């Protein structure tokens, strides 16, 4: 569920609808997802002495008077993808972490690097959600820091945005095409088209779409364009000599989509010519029966996925 949520929605969805505002969330310094916080276990409790709550709270209040945010400048410079709000957020998070881990101010370069990496990850997670909500306005999310000594630049990513294995490496079989588009539910999802061609009399069938008539009609548009322009695809192929079966696999369980005509056309051309598409290629957008390409729905979310 976590992988599906990250790929098809945003982590701010649990907030009330009235609060879903990019200007409001852009002021969040960090976002720590619940799956990174372990559940309480008996070994987490100590049988030794500890600070009572009143003393600990007073210590925290007193430490607010001190700032460790300049620790970054001693060893690193921040990359150019961080705007002013990002810089403030990262500096304050680093300062807070160093206060907790090294309250006496004795920290090493490696200590600062660990805190800086985590602060950038937590802030970038906020920006990743803003990118899904606000589009290209928040597309500068390639956070990095530069070592003052070596001038080497290090980029920081969020673990949940790692490369997906849903599209396997290597050349696919002819007729296999991956598509990223919005489902009828409004969620962006990844689909795989698997096409099979056999000897026959020009029939066409589709499976994997359930009872969605509109989704089947979208596939039909791609098939009809393929049928009407077959001579432009292959000068020797005859439509009536083959039967085509296209199976749709919903890799994110987002439901059927009505923006599949272009991917269907590419899949049919691929299986007819016995030529695979490029390795790990993804199709965006759809087309009309006249061959006009429709604009991509929510480009930012599609690229994120």
189 vs 96, which has greater pLDDT?
A: 96
SS3 29: coil
Entry pTM: 0.57
Whether residue 168 is contained in a domain is answered as: no
Q: Where are the beta strands (DSSP E) in the chain?
A: 76-78, 144-147, 153-155, 176-182, 188-199, 204-207, 242-250, 282-283, 286-287, 293-294
For residues 127 and 183, state if they share a domain.
no
Print the domain residue range for 103: 2-161
Rg for the chain (alpha carbons), in Å? 26
Q: What is the pLDDT of residues 135-152, one digit of tens each?
A: 667 878 889 999 999 999
For position 194, what pLDDT does the model report? 93
For residues 184 and 54, state if they share a domain.
no
Whether residue 15 is contained in a domain is answered as: yes
For residues 105 and 188, state if they share a domain.
no
Least confident of 209-213, 250-254, 297-301: 297-301
For residues 66 and 143, state if they share a domain.
yes
When divided into structural domains, the chain yields a total of 2
Q: What are phi and psi of 132, to 5 degrees?
A: -70, -35
In the chain, what percentage of residues exceed pLDDT 70? 92
Of 109, 135, 161, the domain-final residue: 161
Query: Over 80: is that where the pLDDT of 286 sits?
Result: yes
For residues 250 and 206, state if they share a domain.
yes
For position 200, what pLDDT does the model report? 86
For residues 6 and 34, state if they share a domain.
yes
For position 262, what pLDDT does the model report? 94
Least confident of 17-31, 103-117, 224-238: 224-238
For residues 111 and 254, state if they share a domain.
no
For residues 157 and 182, state if they share a domain.
no
Q: What is the pLDDT of residues 175-224, one digit of tens each?
A: 999 999 888 877 888 899 999 999 888 888 999 888 888 999 999 999 99
Query: Over 60: is that where the pLDDT of 164 sits?
Result: no
Average of per-residue pLDDT across 47-55? 87
Whether residue 169 is contained in a domain is answered as: no
Contact 129, 304 (CB under 8 A): no
Query: Over 90: is that where the pLDDT of 87 sits?
Result: yes
Residue 268 pLDDT grade (very low, low, confident, very high; cuts 50, 70, 90):
very high
For residues 56 and 130, state if they share a domain.
yes
For residues 6 and 139, state if they share a domain.
yes
CATH of the domain at 275: 3.30.230.10
Whether residue 236 is contained in a domain is answered as: yes
Whether residue 166 is contained in a domain is answered as: no
Residue 305 pLDDT grade (very low, low, confident, very high; cuts 50, 70, 90):
low
Whether residue 171 is contained in a domain is answered as: no
């Amino acid at each position: 569920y976590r992988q599906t949520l990250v790929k098809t929605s945003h982590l701010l969805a649990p907030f009330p609808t009235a609060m879903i505002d990019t200007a409001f969330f852009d002021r969040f310094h960090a976002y720590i997802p619940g799956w990174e916080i372990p559940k309480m276990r008996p070994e987490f409790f100590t049988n030794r002495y500890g600070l009572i709550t009143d003393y600990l709270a007073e210590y925290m209040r007193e430490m607010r008077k001190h700032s460790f945010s300049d620790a970054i400048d001693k060893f690193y410079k921040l990359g150019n993808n961080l705007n002013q709000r990002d810089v403030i957020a990262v500096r304050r998070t680093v300062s807070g972490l160093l206060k907790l881990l090294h309250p006496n101010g004795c920290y090493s370069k490696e200590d600062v690097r660990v805190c800086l990496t985590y602060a950038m990850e937590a802030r970038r997670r906020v920006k990743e959600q803003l990118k899904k909500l606000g589009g290209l306005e928040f597309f500068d999310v390639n956070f990095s820091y530069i070592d003052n000594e070596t001038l080497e630049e290090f980029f920081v990513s969020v673990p949940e945005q790692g490369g997906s294995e849903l599209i396997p490496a290597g050349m696919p079989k002819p007729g296999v095409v991956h598509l990223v588009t919005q489902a009828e539910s409004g969620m962006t999802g990844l689909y795989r088209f698997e096409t099979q061609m056999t000897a026959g009399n020009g029939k066409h069938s589709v499976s994997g779409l359930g009872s969605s008539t509109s989704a089947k009609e979208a596939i039909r548009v791609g098939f009809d364009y393929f049928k009407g322009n077959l001579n432009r695809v292959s000068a020797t192929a005859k439509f009536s000599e083959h039967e085509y079966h296209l199976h749709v696999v919903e890799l994110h369980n987002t439901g059927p989509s009505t923006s599949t005509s272009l991917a269907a056309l590419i899949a049919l051309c691929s299986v007819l010519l016995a030529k695979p598409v490029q390795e790990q290629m993804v199709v965006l957008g759809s087309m009309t029966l006249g061959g006009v390409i429709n604009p991509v729905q929510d480009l930012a979310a599609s690229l994120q996925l």
